[in-house]
Amino acid sequence: MTDYYEVLGVPRDATPEQIKKAYRKLARENHPDVAGEDPGAEERFKAVSRAYEVLGNADKRRQYDLGSDPSSPSGGMGGDGMGGFGFQDIFETFFGAASGAGAQRGPVPRARRGQDALVRLDLDLADVTFGTHREIPVDTAVTCPTCSGTCCRPGTSPRTCEVCHGRGMVQRVARSFLGQVMTNQPCAACRGFGTTIPEPCPECSGEGRVRSRRTLGVDVPAGVDTGTRIKLTGQGEVGPAGGPAGDVYLEVRERRHELFARDGDDLHVTMSVPMTAAALGTVLTLETLDGPQEVDLRPGTQPEQVVTLKGLGVGHLHVGGRGDLHVHVDVAVPTALDDEQTELLRRLATLRGEERPEARLAASHQGVFGKLRDKLAGR
């Protein structure tokens, strides 16, 4: 008994899809119209067809696996008259989608949607904090002003294709082992459009669009961050033949600020204060994105202590409100003292009993702003 699995080159546990794929490949390779002068091609083609007649049919394959060959001595024509495989299999094998049920019918539209565009938008911290309006120049495709997207010289119009008569498809006769088969193919004369452009527009060369620079106005909301994309619907390239425009995506990149560091919608800044001001307490003025703001330092303010100014951070995207501004205190210890200043500090140390202070260990910790710096630095 012939080993049909070996003929198709598939394992005995092959799936129906694997069997069909193997058959299509071997049938195409060994078909007389393809193999040419190869004398053994016809016999191999018959053997492949016999194998698929059996293995391509679930009932016949089950009988074959039980030890009997359900094919007839002549090569076996199944109940459908094609040995277990139908016309659709043959058409797809030799002619592809052009002759199958999924073949494209009718002319294709000349007008198509234009491409999307991605534009980088560099913003300062103040822009993302409060929102801003920007005018952005872009080089893109716009509808041809001469032909208004018709692709034709003014005063002319598209002409019905004389080859396909407006169908966009033409029929071709192909030879196969079944005889002559009619197939549908896109018309080469009109490229499947069904019409031709006898006199193309001289400005756009029959494209229906030209390159131009234009300016897009965009309102950037508060709270955007690096990587945020803003979509401008229908502001991209106009499609060929006046087709609908694509979209423009603005990708935000926030410039680094020299003083303020951003963490989400909160801002952080370090303010250096004299040792005496930290010890005695004071009110200092800090220049923020909202203008001058008073920072109240309580007596005994410690290094890395944080004073939070509510609502002075970055605006919350889409939901309103703002984050906070966190002021990290950096106590500046004097390094160059004159004799009088040195004496005053010694007297203060004497009054506080700190002439010879004992070292006291404290738990190692990192201030909030130090952690933020490390986070931004990628450490």
pLDDT in tens, 312-334: 999 999 888 999 999 999 999 88
Give yes or no for a contact between 79 and 39, defined as CB atoms under 8 angstroms apart: no
152 is in an annotated binding site: no
Q: Is 74 exposed, middle or buried (0-12, 13-18, 19+ CB in 10 A)?
A: exposed
Q: Which of 32-46, 54-68, 169-183 has the highest mean pLDDT?
A: 54-68
Name the least confident of 64-73, 93-102, 161-170, 189-198. 93-102
Answer yes or no: is pLDDT of 227 > 70: yes
Tell me the residue ranges of DSSP E strands in the chain. Answer: 117-123, 132-143, 159-160, 169-176, 179-186, 195-196, 209-220, 229-232, 248-254, 261-263, 266-274, 282-288, 291-297, 306-309, 325-332
* pTM, full prediction: 0.61
- The more confident residue out of 31 and 290 is 290
Measured CA to CA in angstroms, residue 239 lies from 76, 151, 248 at distances of 55, 12, 14
Distance CA 169, CA 246 (A): 29
Residue 81: predicted pLDDT: 39
204 is in an annotated binding site: yes
CATH numbers and ranges of domains, the chain: 4-85 (1.10.287.110), 117-155+197-254 (2.60.260.20), 261-377 (2.60.260.20)
Distance CA 185, CA 174 (A): 11
Give yes or no for a contact between 225 and 128, defined as CB atoms under 8 angstroms apart: yes
Answer yes or no: is pLDDT of 77 > 70: no
Q: Which residues of 261-291 are buried (b: 16+ CB within 10 A; e: fewer)?
A: bbbebbbbbbeebeeebbbeebebebebbee
What residue has token string 């018959």?
46
Q: Which of 71-75, 92-96, 212-216 has the highest mean pLDDT?
A: 212-216
Residue 162: predicted pLDDT: 92
How large a percentage of the chain has pLDDT more than 70?
81
Provide the pLDDT confidence category of residue 62 given band limits of 50, 70 and 90. Answer: confident
- The more confident residue out of 133 and 341 is 133
Name the least confident of 41-45, 277-281, 302-306, 314-318. 41-45
- The more confident residue out of 363 and 175 is 175
Q: Is 213 exposed, middle or buried (0-12, 13-18, 19+ CB in 10 A)?
A: exposed
Supply the mean pLDDT for the chain. Answer: 83
- Average the pLDDT over 298-308 and give the result: 92
Tell me the residue ranges of DSSP E strands in 238-377. Answer: 248-254, 261-263, 266-274, 282-288, 291-297, 306-309, 325-332
147 is in an annotated binding site: yes
Distance CA 272, CA 329 (A): 6
How large a percentage of the chain has pLDDT more than 90?
51
Residue 48: predicted pLDDT: 85
201 is in an annotated binding site: yes
Helix 41-55 × helix 16-30 angle, to 10°: 160
Residue 40: predicted pLDDT: 77
Residue 60: predicted pLDDT: 86
Q: Which residues lie closer than 8 Å to 173 by C-beta, 6 or more apart?
A: 180, 181, 182, 183
Count of other CB atoms within 10 angstroms of residue 50: 21
Answer yes or no: is pLDDT of 95 > 70: no
Residue 141: predicted pLDDT: 93
Distance CA 204, CA 218 (A): 29
| Residue type at 331 in one-letter notation | V
Answer yes or no: is pLDDT of 266 > 60: yes
- Average the pLDDT over 31-44 and give the result: 70
151 is in an annotated binding site: no
Provide the pLDDT confidence category of residue 281 given band limits of 50, 70 and 90. Answer: very high
Residue 283: predicted pLDDT: 94
